[in-house]
Structures are given as C-alpha cells and as structure tokens.
C-alpha cells in the first residue's frame, strides 16, 4: 500500500498533472474511449511507481532495534581494525538514546544501509559502544587511564566507517530517485561526528585532569580533525 504521508508532494504534483492532461485531451479530441484509455494507463503507471517507491522508503525506515535483530543477530562481534572486540548488544541501543547527536547521525546516514547493511550496522554498534565507554568513565565504572585509549580507538573506527561510505554509495542513484545528495550527507555527518567526539574527548580530558588528577592523556588530540 502506498504511504501517502511520505509521498504527499509528489502525489499532489501527479494529481495536478493528470487533471491538466484530462482537460487538454477533452478539448482536443472527440474520442471519449481514447481519453479514458489514456487516463487509466496514466493512473496505472503512477500507482506502480508510487507503490514501489513507498515500499523502498518504508523498508528504509525500519526501527533500528529491529534492524539490529534482523541483520546482526548471527554476528558475535565486529571486525574492527583498532578495537579487538566489540560485542553486538543484546539488550538494545540504550546508550545511544542518551546522546541526541548520535541519534541524528544514525538517522541521517540510514540511507547507506540500502547499499551495505553490515557497514551501517557496525556504525550503530560502535556509536553505542563509544557512548557507553564515555558514560562509564565519567561514572567511575571504567578506569580512565585504561579506557581513554578504548574510547579514542572506537572514534577512529567510526571515522573510518563513515569515510568508507563514499565507496559503497552510488553518487547519482539517490539524488535522482529521492532528491538526496549522498556524498553531501556523508560529509556533513563526518564533520558532525568529529565535532561531537572532540567535545566528548575534551570533557574526558578535563575530568581526568581536574577530577582525577591524571596529567598524561594518551593519544588525545582534539584539534587533529577540526581542519
């Protein structure tokens, strides 16, 4: 069934065009049967087009928890370069929900899973793990000296993940079909993530230096990706 809410603008345009076509044909021909056939053919083609597009949009709006369950349930951990083991969360994405900026990045890059489900799934899991480590360090559940390295390594993997999306997403397909510029979206969210992780690193830095009297912060360079 067509999802009218997500295709409202295109449906309105189609309706206006169809009315104009009917008006034009009624004025230029006396063959009523011909006009009826043209109208029926037009609406059949329009229905097939909008129904197919609606299904694609609905499939791309599946709840993220359902997505994880469907596509990651057979995987025990992520294959990451810098972080040896990140387990797939079994109890949902509860840490992501604590950070609105992360939620927005996930929503904005949801279109990429059309082309690489595992890559997008890995991104979600790593963002969840990053937020978990961040919260646990500040809550004194994780030792800062040990887990600041883990936090930094996860952020590196996330940046590599987002950057690699350039190579799996065709530049023109989404732009022509849905009016989305995929490369622009990827670039915007890469910058958004860099600003976010830099802010989080600075907070961790201040906490370790002022709250825990730890003067040496391993692998901390908040300016490295701001240029």
pLDDT tens figures, 147-158: 999 999 999 999
Q: Among 164, 161, 188, 204, which residue's Cα sits nearest to residue 105?
A: 188
* pLDDT at res. 209: 87
Q: pLDDT digit string (tens) for 175-184?
A: 655 567 888 8
Residue 11 structure tokens: 């449906």
Q: pLDDT digit string (tens) for 184-222?
A: 899 999 999 999 999 999 999 999 988 888 876 555 554
Q: What is the DSSP letter of 179?
A: S
pTM of the full structure: 0.65
Report d(CA 127, CA 124) in Å as an integer. Answer: 5
* pLDDT at res. 191: 96
Residue 131: other Cβ atoms inside 10 A: 22
Low-confidence ranges of the chain (pLDDT < 70): 1-16, 19, 22-23, 25-26, 29-32, 35, 50-92, 172-179, 216-227
Residue 144 structure tokens: 């800062």
Beta bridge partners of 87: 77
């Amino acid at each position: 069934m067509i999802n009218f809410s997500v295709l409202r603008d295109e449906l309105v345009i189609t309706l206006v065009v169809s009315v104009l076509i009917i008006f034009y044909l009624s004025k230029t021909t006396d063959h009523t049967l011909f006009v009826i056939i043209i109208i029926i053919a037009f609406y059949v083609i329009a229905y097939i087009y909008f129904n197919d597009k609606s299904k694609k949009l609905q499939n791309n709006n599946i709840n993220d928890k359902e997505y994880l369950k469907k596509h990651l349930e057979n995987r025990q951990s992520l294959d990451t370069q810098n972080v040896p083991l990140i387990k797939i969360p079994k109890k949902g994405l509860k840490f992501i929900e604590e950070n609105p900026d992360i939620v927005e990045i996930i929503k904005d890059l949801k279109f990429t899973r059309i082309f690489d489900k595992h890559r997008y799934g890995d991104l979600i899991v790593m963002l969840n793990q990053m937020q978990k480590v961040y919260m646990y360090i500040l809550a004194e559940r994780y030792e800062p000296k040990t887990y600041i390295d883990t936090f930094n390594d996860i952020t590196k993997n996330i940046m590599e993940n987002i950057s690699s999306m350039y190579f799996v997403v065709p530049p023109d397909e989404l732009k022509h079909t849905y009016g989305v510029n995929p490369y622009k979206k990827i670039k915007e969210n890469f910058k958004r993530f860099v600003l976010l992780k830099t802010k989080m690193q600075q907070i961790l830095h201040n906490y370790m230096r002022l709250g825990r009297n730890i003067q040496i912060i391993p692998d901390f360079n908040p300016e490295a990706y701001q240029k």
